[in-house]
Amino acid sequence: MRNVAMRDSLVIRALIAAVLLTAWTGGASAAAPKKNPDIKAKQQLARGLELLESSQDERAVKLLSSIPRLFPKSAVRFKAHLALGKHYMDKSQYDRAISQFNTMKGCEDADISADSLYQTGICYFHMNKYDNAFASLRKVTNEYAGSVYANESFYYIGQCHFKLGRWAKAVEALQRVGTSVSSKAEDRQDVTAEAGQELFFKVLDKDLVVLNRDGKISAKIVANSGDTETITLKTLGKDPSQYIGKVPTKLGKPSPGDNVLQIIGGDSVTASYVDENTAAGLRNQKVIAVVRMVSTAAAGFTNGAYTEYVEGVIGNTESFLRVKDMDRDVSHNKDTVQVTVSTRYKVRQEAADAVASDAADYANEQKREVWKIRDTVTVTLNETEEHTGIYTGKTVPAIVTDPTGIDPGDKTLSAMKGDEMVCVYVDDRHMGGEDPVEVKGTTKVFIGKPNDVAIRHWLVDDPEQKARKNLIEAKIYLKLAGIFKDVGLSSKASIKADQGIKRVDLVIKTGLKASMDRSIIEEAFMVKWELFLVQDKLPQAIGVCRTLMRLFPDSTLVDRALLKIGQAKMQGGDLGGAVSIFSSICRLPQSTLKAEAQYMIAKSHETNAMASIAKAKAAGRKVNVAAGMGRAISSYQKCAEDYPDSAFAGPSLEKIANFYLLTKDFARAGELMERVVQDYPDASFLDRMLLNWAKAAQGMGDSATAKAKCEQLMSEYPASPLAAEAMAIIKAGGAKPAPADSGTGSSE
């Protein structure tokens, strides 16, 4: 998957006359966020991200998932949702990823909002839901045109068109990759980038249309510590005035010319480009931009190999510490850092003191309980090798039974039964801003032998591991059942579904009994109703959805469960019940499925209207199609107006346009089709819309427009099944009258 290479990277720019050399960082930390007083939320986020980096997925997911719950008003919760969504994307769990990306309401950070929309579009792309992907990606290009995500969105828009066989539109979108730049002057000032990531460089110089002949230019990249690289930039698409290039960065001694920019902690990087001819008439003027390299630190207690974080250490034995911070690699020797390691214990406070304690520690402490420091030492950590930016060391918590014998001034770290150990590292340069922050790691202190702790650990985790194993197997059976059903082997599909249901029932039973992570239980319910749907057991599927809503009324899957119920009722012919269910989704305060629910309401009304019209015709009664379809059309209109950025707005407008054709209101049909083609340039139904636009023009006697629209269809959608009909209209010069019943094609 071509994910945002630019996400953790930089695009550098500086504007003089006709030259633009750009610079910015992508991802959730592209711009320094507003100062956030909730340091604990930031620390928890950093720890969760470090756990993900070290492949401790389960612990990371639990930690990140708790941030929105513990810090419901903190802006850090949006970064947690974003990180979880990207994690689920990496695991190809696209539905779960989308549910995380859709929780950005109220986020004031433009980079996070743009990133979440962009990632949503990628998820839909990999799910082959191209209309949904277009809706998200176009919103990025329209609302965040100056971000790196706009450039990447154009790439995926092009890929969607390529998958659909729309070659001209694919080329048009791909040519716009890299063309979006910010116009804000502040974006060019005090730019920071994460050390160790790639730096991207973009140059815009209109003179190059004439001056440059080989499609390549160069920029000089210099690190303050001494390394110099010359980067070749290549043209963006067919635009000869725009160029882009990149260079990876890493800690190390200068090695000019190796196509890797070696840096050390605290480095600044200068990019320069020579403008041969400025708008002011000056010759060979150097344009430069500067970016500061910073590193966001992580710290904690690890195993003896310093590879994985641990939740417990044994008293009177060595405990191991690890800090990762490239900022502290400031020489060509092995550097050192210092951390403060403390032991602490909980005590109960009087009510008057508890108020202040709860205000500061409400996320991690029980009411009227606070942590007290028992003992503290300072530990020096050594860099593992030259220019790694990783520092390790160790200390020994000495178990004591009498607290009065502890000497706070000695070099021994004393601990008692039930204590926690805390390591604190001060990160003074990071992507979060200029203020130093404390990066913390915590672990429990156990008394006994390592084997005793290991046995206790496995007994606690075993039920959850079994549940996850059963859930994976249930998903496999769901996949197999779907394959068998698709090829017509219904009996085998049902057998596989039954096997999956047995597994998922074990997950639900064990999970509820053991108070397991609710995300596992919720996912199990989702798999179960999908298995019932494969078996066409609609009542049972509805029952599963209702059980989920009863157990977890605040679940992010509730609206999806309701949608499944509504769709099941539609399939069963209960259109009134379906409309009632879909309407309840539209009333939910946070649902991301409102647009689809409104579209399904309109579709239900349309199905009911068409059945009534067919029944009236069969009985020989005169039919007023406009009156019969009125409720459906108004519902489609509401979908288009209330959710204009959704994937269902375009299809709703197509339904309305087809209705105008059916009732021979050609003028209104033409006006609406013009609006749809302009507002929804990526819609999958535009070939049908162009043909119907031609028919509407024929109905008004406008043969020139009819021919032009058919020619546009042939040019942009040569593989369309409507090409033959369009060609016939072209050959007739657009003068062929439209049939009386034309324009009734469906958007489905």
pLDDT digits (tens, 9 = 90+) for 33-73: 444 446 788 888 888 888 887 778 878 888 888 888 888 88
Strands 437-446 and 312-314: parallel
Model confidence at 592: pLDDT above 90: no
Q: Cα–Cα distance between 577 and 254 in angstroms, integer?
A: 71
Query: What pLDDT does 311 receive?
Result: 85
Model confidence at 207: pLDDT above 70: no
**Of 134-148, 409-423, 456-470, which gets the smallest average pLDDT?**
456-470
Rg, C-alpha atoms of the chain = 31
Q: Which whole number is the average pLDDT over 573-595?
A: 82
Q: Two tokens at 24?
A: 């910015």
Give the best-scoring range by mean pLDDT among 342-356, 477-491, 549-563, 731-745: 477-491
Please, what are the domains in the chain? Answer: 39-108 (1.25.40), 193-292 (2.60.40), 298-448 (2.60.40), 463-663 (1.25.40.10), 664-748 (no CATH)
Share of the chain above pLDDT 70, in %: 80
Reference 293, options 252, 234, 334; nearest CA is: 252
Query: What pLDDT does 738 receive?
Result: 42
Confidence of residue 449 (pLDDT cuts 50, 70, 90): low
476 versus 644: the higher-pLDDT residue is: 476
Model confidence at 27: pLDDT above 80: no
Q: Which whole number is the average pLDDT over 342-371?
A: 59
Q: pTM of the predicted model, to two decimals? A: 0.48
Query: What pLDDT does 251 receive?
Result: 92
Q: Cα–Cα distance between 443 and 391 in angstroms, integer?
A: 18
Query: What pLDDT does 684 receive?
Result: 72
Q: Cα–Cα distance between 251 and 329 in angstroms, integer?
A: 8
Model confidence at 521: pLDDT above 70: yes
DSSP H or E run through 571: helix 558-571
Query: What pLDDT does 329 receive?
Result: 92
Q: Which whole number is the average pLDDT over 157-177?
A: 78
Query: What pLDDT does 383 receive?
Result: 94
Query: What pLDDT does 591 receive?
Result: 76
Q: Which whole number is the average pLDDT over 206-222?
A: 69
Model confidence at 445: pLDDT above 60: yes
Model confidence at 239: pLDDT above 80: no
Query: What pLDDT does 736 receive?
Result: 55
Q: Cα–Cα distance between 710 and 708 in angstroms, integer?
A: 5
Model confidence at 125: pLDDT above 50: yes
Q: Two tokens at 171?
A: 């080329």
Q: In Å, how far are 53, 56, 417, 519 from 59, measured between CA atoms?
A: 12, 6, 24, 13
Q: Residues 601-646: pLDDT tens digits?
A: 999 988 888 888 888 888 888 777 777 788 888 898 888 888 887 7
4 versus 209: the higher-pLDDT residue is: 209
**Of 60-64, 86-90, 741-745, which gets the smallest average pLDDT?**
741-745
Query: What pLDDT does 556 receive?
Result: 66
Model confidence at 362: pLDDT above 50: no
Model confidence at 355: pLDDT above 60: no
